[in-house]
Structure 1
Amino acid sequence: MSKRLILFLAFSMYITGFIALAQTLTAKDIVTRCDEKARGKTSQGEMTMTIIRPTWSRSITMKSWEKGHGLSLIVITLPAKDKGQVFLKIKTEMWNWLPSIERMIKIPPSMMLQSWMGSDFTNDDLIKESSIIKDYTHKLLGKETVREMLCYKIEMTPLPEAAVTWGKVVIWITVDGFNQWKAEYYDEDMSLINVLNAYNIKKMGDREIPTQLEIVPVDKKNNKTILEIKSVIYDQPIKDNFFSQQNMRSVSQRIK
């Protein structure tokens, strides 16, 4: 058998295996790959959020740490009036440390759909209280091209017992790279509330991810919020006790 024929057969087997893998991916598989890529085992990074309104705008910078689906901590670094605020999520519970009054506030589940820091993101969006894998059923609606990217279009419907804030979420995940490229959020009456679009895929750490997320409320003209990821490191060890109420105060003080 010639070397050329061997190489041809090997390449054919590789392509056949790749196509077979792609054909067997379920909607849940696709969402899982996207979620695992975006989160990693752990992640820590810096972000800037710009809130845009018809007559004004303001920016908030923050640092974040996350471990799995159950542990998350965000600290505000700018502007000065919000500096040192800390948000902590442990499993399904969430707290906010306010350094100006040295007070810890527990955020109830009923407030997960409330605006986060006056933005168009909700508490659930930023702290990720719900799991897009465990709390929803997933249905592959097909493929669509969104802003020149071929995507899987997937409808996510919450499970009856899931404590989630949305009645339905439709997401578009890129075929090449498994990045969330667009999302539509519907309330319990199936009315479209927010549209999220991702942009600027860049290499961050060991992977390429969208570094700009823009969320637009459909019923509020000229309102939007842009979240820009400045840096992120994945899969560096973080101890569980970093995510504690005691550490919220320490992190806040270090920022000052």
Structure 2
Amino acid sequence: MRKTSILIMSWLSSFAVYAESAYEIVKKSDLAMRGDASYSEATMEIIRPDWRRSMSMKSWTKGTDLSLVLVTAPAKDKGSASLKRQREMWNWVPSIERVIKIAPSMLSQSWMGSDFTNDDLINQSSIVVDYQHELKRKDSFDGDAVWVIEAVANPDAPVVWSKITLWISTSTYLQRKVDFYDEFDELVNVMTTYDVKPLGGRKLATRMEMQPMDEPGNKTVLTTHQAQFDFDIDDSFFSLQQMKSLRD
């Protein structure tokens, strides 16, 4: 009898660990990648079968509602910026000195000609608030034990992807792989992450690859070189005026 009780308790314990809230895992994953505030410097390389181009950028985030991305190179794109405040997003195009409001219909458009959409790069934290999450199973990716979580968009949520499947590390809570599906349940893009290393006082996947499934040979690689987390930054930094005035 005692042996049976021990087995039952062991089974319940393992079930409790496995049944950790999918929402909490996704929320912790978002915090692992951005913290309460974050700053990063990265290079984005857009790869096509017959050409390549790269750009450098700096980005800032605060919580889940504020983010700002500034392009610092090449010269023709330098000064271009993207801003998110709560549910509103804008792009600044210095060559024509124009601010473009990103309407919901523009969220699926390519960001700066890359395989990342406006939604992917500017509105990343939407995965926490705009989706219902379900823990499907445990698996592994690149030698890392992961939870596989399916996230289905809430009705009328202002998002591009109707479903997202995430492979989240059980040790670091980093997103190691993400599948993006359209409203027809077709797999559109796959994001994978590599080269997990200490950066800015925490572990970070420093190389991120986005591949469109319908365009073989196409991908965009985002490599993070520097990062800082959990510092003081005022909400006023994330403003239209700041977006237009930022310099390298």
TM-score (norm 1): 0.89
* Aligned residue number for residue 5 of structure 1: none
* Aligned residue number for residue 6 of structure 2: none
Does residue 140 (structure 1) correspond to residue 135 (structure 2)? The answer is: yes
The counterpart of 1:111, out of the listed 106, 109, 125, is: 106
1:186-201 correspondence runs (5 A):
186-201=181-196
Amino acid at match of 1:83: K
* Aligned residue number for residue 80 of structure 1: 75
Residues 113 and 122, structure 1, Cα contact 8 Å, conserved in 2:
yes
* Aligned residue number for residue 7 of structure 2: none
Does residue 227 (structure 1) correspond to residue 227 (structure 2)? The answer is: no
The counterpart of 1:205, out of the listed 200, 206, 218, is: 200
Residues 130 and 163, structure 1, Cα contact 8 Å, conserved in 2:
no
Which blocks of at least 5 consecutive residues in structure 2 are unaligned? 1-12
TM-score (norm 2): 0.91
**Identity percentage of aligned residues:** 47
Which blocks of at least 5 consecutive residues in structure 1 are unaligned? 1-17
Does residue 168 (structure 1) correspond to residue 163 (structure 2)? The answer is: yes
Quick one: distance in 2 between partners of 1:231 and 1:90? 24
1:18-37 correspondence runs (5 A):
22-37=17-32
Residues 124 and 130, structure 1, Cα contact 8 Å, conserved in 2:
no
Amino acid at match of 1:94: M
Question: Greater CA radius of gyration, 1 or 2?
Answer: 1
Quick one: distance in 2 between partners of 1:129 and 1:22? 27
* Aligned residue number for residue 250 of structure 1: 245
Residues 66 and 73, structure 1, Cα contact 8 Å, conserved in 2:
yes
Q: Deviations over 1:116-165 (max 9, x none)?
A: 00000000111016611111111111111122111100100011131111
Quick one: distance in 1 between partners of 2:113 and 2:212? 13
**CA RMSD, aligned part only?**
1.5
* Aligned residue number for residue 179 of structure 1: 174
Residues 30 and 125, structure 2, Cα contact 8 Å, conserved in 1:
no
Alpha-carbon offset, residue 246 of structure 1: 1.1
Residues 92 and 129, structure 1, Cα contact 8 Å, conserved in 2:
no
